Structure 1
Amino acid sequence: MNGFMDFTSLIFLVLAVAIFWRLRGVLGRRTGSERPPVDPFPKRDEAPAESNDNVVTLPRSGQRAPVQSEGSDRIDEMAPTGTALNKALKMLVSADANFEPDYFLTGASAAYEMIVTAFAAGDRAELKPLLSPEVYAGFVAAIDERERRGEKVESTFVGIDRAEITEAALKSGIAQVTVRFVSKLISVTRSPDGTVVDGDPTKVAEVTDVWTFAREIRSRDPNWKLIATEADA
């Protein structure tokens, strides 16, 4: 009888091991090299992490904290007291205590590099969640035209020299922040036969862009999107 029980136990043990290895093969295992989600905007509070990739994110509006005097002082440093920008920034902080200009600029700079790089590569999937529908349509039209001509862009993003908020507003519950970026990049556009049609592959060019980001303050969606662009001569 004991022999029968031992033989039965052995069969169940073999089956258990086989099921374990099958589940391991199906579900996989973490290796420590998985790509973390992209979150261009750092968080002041430890808010729950968003799962979407390639989004321009601030802390959730539910994670509101008292406005600190040092934040107000920082706004006064960025924009003199009494100016329209100073008043607008303080109005945004009053509407959303999680809005902080320095943190916003850090995230906006990360988003700027992502967008510039994705546009040069013609990566529509990377661009779409970062842009408003109107801006996305304009970017895609330019990419389509470039591809129609058979041209390719070779671009190296060197870095951002300066990023500063130039305008801010709260219109009908929509926060809008305009940032002036001064960046450096190497960019060249080549025709199908490799001839340079624009840019210089050996020259680091300085580029100045003025971009406006927007977000609905009361929305549960924490993402900011690019709603307008212009080049600053």
Structure 2
Amino acid sequence: MIELVIYALLAAFIFSRLYNSLGRSASLNLKKLTGILDVSQSKEDVVENIEDYIYSNDKSSIETTYEQILQKNKEFSISNFIEGSSIAFELIIKYFNQGNLPQLKSLLDKDLYNSFVDKIKHRKETHESIIVSIVSQKILEIKLVKNVIFIAVYFLSEQINFVKNNEGNITSGSMSTINKVEDVWQFKKNINSSDLTWLLVSINYKKASTDKNLTTNDN
């Protein structure tokens, strides 16, 4: 019996080391993602310095909206949202490359999902994007419309981009060149909903006064 316990502990330790070394995105599933996008904190009050996550010329407006959100849901967490949105960024790109509509449906707003369906059904070539790393990630805008939160997130990522034809041959791009790619994605969630998932509303969302020089000023 003691030997079985020792083997079980050893197996758990090895799995933990493998998980950490291989990275999160390789083994994440939607259940894990939903748990992170829950953005809930522990029962203890945690004061977050949201300035660490914001890049905007109008920080005061974002901070005011953040306070309004906390009045409706005191467990809302910017740091957990940031972690979850980075995972969603990688998963959505991966599932789009695969044409995996069932997985995409649970992560996208209805209108954006329909757009993805149309693109996947009619594409003659496959645009592949492999995420090497997310270099930088900042919140550009937070809006609260009634009980729905909209958060626009800037991503600077390193990607390998190429295009394949139906025969699987690369027609443009390269599998050995790493490109820096900028995106602004907008997510939404009803603050009172029992559904924990945030949905992606738009890609390359245009903020009214989008801040410049993110690549040079961001860490």
Gaps of 5+ in 1: 1-31, 44-55
Partner of residue 68, structure 2: 91
1:71-110 aligned at under 5 Å gives the runs 71=48, 74-79=49-54, 83-110=60-87
Partner of residue 203, structure 2: 229
For residue 231 of structure 1, report the CA deviation from its aligned partner. 6.8
Q: Which amino acid aligns with 2:130?
A: T
Contact 1:42 1:103 in 2 (8 A): no
Contact 1:163 1:180 in 2 (8 A): yes
Q: Which amino acid aligns with 1:83?
A: S
2:96 to 105, 119, 135: 119
Partner of residue 16, structure 1: none
Q: Distance in 2 between matches of 1:222 and 1:65?
A: 17
For residue 192 of structure 1, report the CA deviation from its aligned partner. 2.8
Partner of residue 120, structure 2: 143
1:39 to 32, 50, 53: 32
Partner of residue 168, structure 1: 142
Relative to the length of structure 1, the TM-score reads 0.67
Matched-pair identity in %: 24
Contact 2:34 2:197 in 1 (8 A): no
1:12-23 aligned at under 5 Å gives the runs none
Q: Distance in 2 between matches of 1:36 and 1:125?
A: 13
Task: Sort the Cα spacing of 1:117 and 1:190 in 2 relative to 1 into closer, same or farther, 3 A.
Answer: same
Q: Which amino acid aligns with 2:138?
A: E
Partner of residue 57, structure 1: 38
Task: Sort the Cα spacing of 1:189 and 1:175 in 2 relative to 1 into closer, same or farther, 3 A.
Answer: same
The structure with the larger Rg is 1
For residue 165 of structure 1, report the CA deviation from its aligned partner. 0.9
Q: Distance in 2 between matches of 1:78 and 1:166?
A: 9
Relative to the length of structure 2, the TM-score reads 0.71
For residue 174 of structure 1, report the CA deviation from its aligned partner. 0.5
For residue 169 of structure 1, report the CA deviation from its aligned partner. 1.2
Contact 1:42 1:106 in 2 (8 A): no
Contact 1:65 1:97 in 2 (8 A): no
Partner of residue 156, structure 2: 182
Q: Distance in 1 between matches of 2:103 and 2:168?
A: 26
Runs (4+) of structure 1 moved beyond 3 Å?
56-59, 63-68, 76-82, 152-155, 193-198
Contact 1:211 1:226 in 2 (8 A): yes
Partner of residue 134, structure 1: 111
For residue 36 of structure 1, report the CA deviation from its aligned partner. 7.1
The alignment partner of 1:176 has SS state of: strand
Q: Distance in 1 between matches of 2:98 and 2:151?
A: 26
Number of matched residues?
A: 181
For residue 156 of structure 1, report the CA deviation from its aligned partner. 2.3
Q: Distance in 2 between matches of 1:174 and 1:36?
A: 25
CA RMSD of aligned residues (A): 3.0
